[in-house]
Amino acid sequence: MAEFDLIEIIKQLTRQNRPDVRIGIGDDAAVVCVPPDCELVICSDTLVSGVHFPVNTDPADIGWKSLAVNLSDLAAMGATPAWATLAMTLPVADSGFVERFAKGFAELAAAWEVDLVGGDTTRGPLSITVTAHGFVPAGQAIQRSGATVGDAVYVTGTLGDAAAGLRILQSASALGAESGAHERFVVTRLNRPQARIGAGTALRELASACIDISDGLLADLGHVASSSAVGIEIGEDCLPQSTALAECFDAETRTGLQMWGGDDYELAFTIAEANVEVMREAMERQGCRVSRIGRVIDEPGVHVLDHNGRRRPTTSKGWDHFK
C-alpha cells in the first residue's frame, strides 16, 4: 500500500463536488473561490494519539473528531464551513485504518458540505492535523475581544460530558455491551462532538464575543475576559448539565468536569441584554439549547459564585497541552 493509494481511498470517500472548488486533491495545491463580499476564515488543529484521544479510539471517531474540532473553531467565529485539508501521519500504510478514518471524516464533512481539497500523508507516529476554511460576510466575524461590562454570558448545550466520557473510558478497558445509555451518551459526546455551526452563524450580529469550549469552560472564558479587558462572573448552579452527567457522577465531581473539563466544543458567548430575546428565538429555531451562566463585570478574571452567591476560590487554568 503506497502513499498514492491511501490518498485515492481518502479522495473517493470524501468527494463533495462543491462548485467553488476549481482544483481539488491531486495537484500540487488546491484552487478554490471565496464568494465576493466574504472574508476567509482559517483554523488548524492537531490531534495526537494518546494525547488528544485514547490510543484504542475507533479510527472513524478520530476522523470525525479531527474535522469537528476545526469546524467548532469556525463556528466560534460565526463562519460557514467550506473546505479542509488533511495532514495524516501514520506509523504504517494501513488501508483499513485509513478507510475507517475517511468514513468518519466524510460523515461530518457531508453534513456541512465541507470538501476535502488537499493535504499530505506521511509516515510517523499517529497524528492528524486538519486545516479548515470557511466564510463570513465581510466584517461580521465574532471575536473574543468584544465582551462589554453588563453583557450576559451564555453557553450552548451542556457542559462536562466529554470529560465524563474520557473518565469512564479511562476507568474501563472498553465500553462493553453492558454499558448503560448514560455512559454511551457521554462517550459519544467525547468522540463525536457536534460543532455548533448553526448557532455560530446565528450569533453573528447578536453576540459581542464568542469562543468554543475546547480547553475547559473557565480557561476559555478566561481567554474572552483577557482579550476583552473585562472580567466574568458565573454561577456554579447555572451550568447546564445533561441527564447522563447527573446520573453518572456526584455533584462535586460534576461541577469540576463542567468547569475544567475540555473537549466540550460548545460555544460560550457574551451578549448585550438588548439582543438576548432575539438570540433566544434564533437558538430555538436552531433547536440549540442555550443557558445563561453569568455576566461580564469590571473586575479582571473569571469568578465562580457558589449556590449561596459566595465566590469560590478557583483558578482559571484549564487544559494546557504541555502540563
Residues at the interface with its own copies (CB under 8 A)? 1-4, 6, 22-23, 26-34, 36, 39-46, 48-52, 73-74, 76-77, 79, 83, 85-87, 89, 92-93, 117-125, 127, 129, 131, 133-134, 136, 138, 141, 143-145, 210-212, 227, 320-323
Cell of 308: 449561596
Closer to its own copies by Cβ: residue 86 or 259? 86
Closer to its own copies by Cβ: residue 1 or 172? 1
CB of 127 to its own copies, least distance (A): 6
Closer to its own copies by Cβ: residue 88 or 248? 88
Closer to its own copies by Cβ: residue 124 or 287? 124
Sequence-ordered list of residues with C-beta below 8 angstroms from that of 238, at least 6 positions apart, any chain = 291, 292, 293, 294
DSSP secondary structure string for all residues of 163-188:
HHHHHHHHHSSS--TT--HHHHHHHH
CB of 155 to its own copies, least distance (A): 15
Closer to its own copies by Cβ: residue 227 or 286? 227
CB of 89 to its own copies, least distance (A): 6
In 3D space, the residue among 220, 78, 231 whose CA is nearest the CA of residue 148 turns out to be: 231
DSSP secondary structure string for all residues of 274-307:
HHHHHHHHHHHHHT--EEEEEEEESSSEEEEE-T
| Cα 236 to Cα 322: distance, rounded to the nearest angstrom | 28
Closer to its own copies by Cβ: residue 70 or 241? 70
> What is the number of alpha carbons within 13 Å of residue 182 lying toward its C-beta?
11
CB of 122 to its own copies, least distance (A): 5
Closer to its own copies by Cβ: residue 134 or 160? 134
Phi, psi of 293 (to 5 degrees): -115, -10
Phi, psi of 122 (to 5 degrees): -135, 165
Give the Å distances, CA to CA, from 160 to 12, 42, 236, 284: 36, 27, 13, 22
Rounded to 5°, the CA angle 253-255-258 comes to 110
CB of 271 to its own copies, least distance (A): 17
DSSP secondary structure string for all residues of 59-91:
HHHHHHHHHHHHHHHHHHHTPEEEEEEEEEEES
Closer to its own copies by Cβ: residue 144 or 189? 144
CB of 249 to its own copies, least distance (A): 27
Sequence-ordered list of residues with C-beta below 8 angstroms from that of 142, at least 6 positions apart, any chain = 76, 77, 78, 200, 203, 204, 207, 209, 210, 269
CB of 120 to its own copies, least distance (A): 5
CB of 243 to its own copies, least distance (A): 29
Closer to its own copies by Cβ: residue 43 or 217? 43
Sequence-ordered list of residues with C-beta below 8 angstroms from that of 199, at least 6 positions apart, any chain = 75, 156, 267, 283, 286, 288, 290
CB of 74 to its own copies, least distance (A): 6
